[in-house]
Amino acid sequence: MPTLTCWKCGATLADVLVPFARVAECPACRADLHVCRMCVFFDPGVRRGCKEPVADEVTDRERANFCGYFTPEPGLGPGMEDGTAQAARAELDGLFGLPSSSVASPSDSDEARRRLDELFGGGPEK
CA–CA gap between residue 98 and residue 3 (Å, rounded): 33
Contact predicate 15/25, CB 8 Å: no
pLDDT digits (tens, 9 = 90+) for 112-125: 888 888 888 876 65
Confidence of residue 25 (pLDDT cuts 50, 70, 90): very high
- pTM of the prediction? 0.61
CA–CA gap between residue 69 and residue 71 (Å, rounded): 6
For the chain, the maximum distance between any two Cα atoms, rounded to a whole number of angstroms, is: 62
- DSSP helix/strand/coil, 50: strand
pLDDT digits (tens, 9 = 90+) for 26-64: 999 999 999 999 999 999 888 889 999 999 999 999 999
Contact predicate 20/37, CB 8 Å: no
Amino acid 122: pLDDT: 72
Amino acid 52: pLDDT: 93
- DSSP helix/strand/coil, 90: helix
CA–CA gap between residue 61 and residue 120 (Å, rounded): 42
DSSP structural state of residue 49:
G
pLDDT digits (tens, 9 = 90+) for 67-107: 999 999 987 776 555 555 667 777 777 777 777 655 555 56
